[in-house]
Amino acid sequence: MGISRRTLIAAPSVAAAAIAQSGMFSASDTEWLGAIVEQIVPTDEFPGAREAGVVTYIQRQLAGPLKRFRGAYSKGLDEMKKATPGFLTLSFDQQTAYLKTIESTPFFQMVADHTMQGYYGDPMHGGNRDRVSWRMLKVDKFMDHGPWKGHRHEAE
């Protein structure tokens, strides 16, 4: 193996420090966060949070209006990687069961809140790709910008 045990253990905190400083996720962070957000809004007959771009949403907001949460992301991901290093290898249902054990933690509640923002908010912020949640709720025609395309216009 070209990688020492020591490097492996150190890796999460290096990645975490990167989030805290720049708000940028490492590839590992993106993978972990993708799995978590996918649990929060899973894929069913409509795409889930990962496919809808929720990690991009969170990443972009941590570089802007939500930068005060950078430290919480780095600490939370770091702790989760340490506490459950095999999380990514678990089945979907096993991941659900694990997250239920931490659902009342401030970290999980923060991620859940930001996931809902990214999934149900305006696609301009990086999530809700192709207006997926709006189409799911059948409100897409009401939600867009610019000249409103609601049913009064439709009737005309």
Partner 1 sequence: MKLSEVDAVIVGAGGGGGVVAHELAVAGWRVALLERGRRQKFGETGHDELRSQRTTVLGNAFGPDDERHFRLVRAQDGESWRRVLPSEGPYGNVAACVGGGTLSYGAMAWRFLPQDFRMRSTYGAVEGSTLDDWPVSYDDLEPYYEKAEWTIGVSGKGGSNPFEGTRRKNYPMPPLPLNTEASMLAPAARKLGWHPFPIPMAINSVERDGRSGCIGCPHCVGFACEVDAKNSTAVTVIPKAVATGNCDLRTECVVKEVLLDATGRATGVAYFQNGELVEQPAKIVVLAASATETARLLLNSKHKLHPNGLGNNSDWVGRNLQGHAYSGATGVFETETWDGLGPAARIACCDFSHGNDGIVGGAMLANEFIRLPYLFARSQHPPGTPRWGREHKKIQRELYRRTTGIKGPVQEMPMWTSRVEVDASARDHWGIPVLRISGQKHQRDVRAGQFIADRAAEWLRAAGAVQVWASVTGRGVSGGQHQAGTCRMSAEKKTGVVDASCRIHDVDNVYIADGSVHVTNGGFNPSLTIQALAFRTSERILKQQKI
Task: Return d(Cα 131, Cα 124) in angstroms, integer.
Answer: 10
Label residues 14-33 b or e (16+ Cβ within 10 Å = b).
ebbebbeeebebbebbbebb
125 binds partner 1 (CB under 8 A): yes
Task: Return d(Cα 156, Cα 76) in angstroms, integer.
Answer: 52
145 binds partner 1 (CB under 8 A): yes
5 binds partner 1 (CB under 8 A): no
Dihedral angle over CA of 89, 9, 55, 23, nearest 10:
180
Contact 127, 56 (CB under 8 A): yes
116 binds partner 1 (CB under 8 A): yes
Question: Given the rule CB under 8 A, which of 2-10, 21-29, 81-89, 113-121 is the region that contacts partner 1?
Answer: 113-121
* Amino acid identity at 122: D
Hey, which residues between 17 and 76 contact partner 1 (CB under 8 A)? Answer: 39-42, 44, 46, 61, 64-66
134 binds partner 1 (CB under 8 A): yes
Please report how close the Cβ of residue 109 comes to partner 1 at its closest, in angstroms. Answer: 8
- Residues contributing to the site for partner 1 (CB under 8 A): 39-42, 44, 46, 61, 64-66, 96, 103, 112-113, 115-117, 119-122, 124-125, 133-134, 136-139, 141-148, 150-153
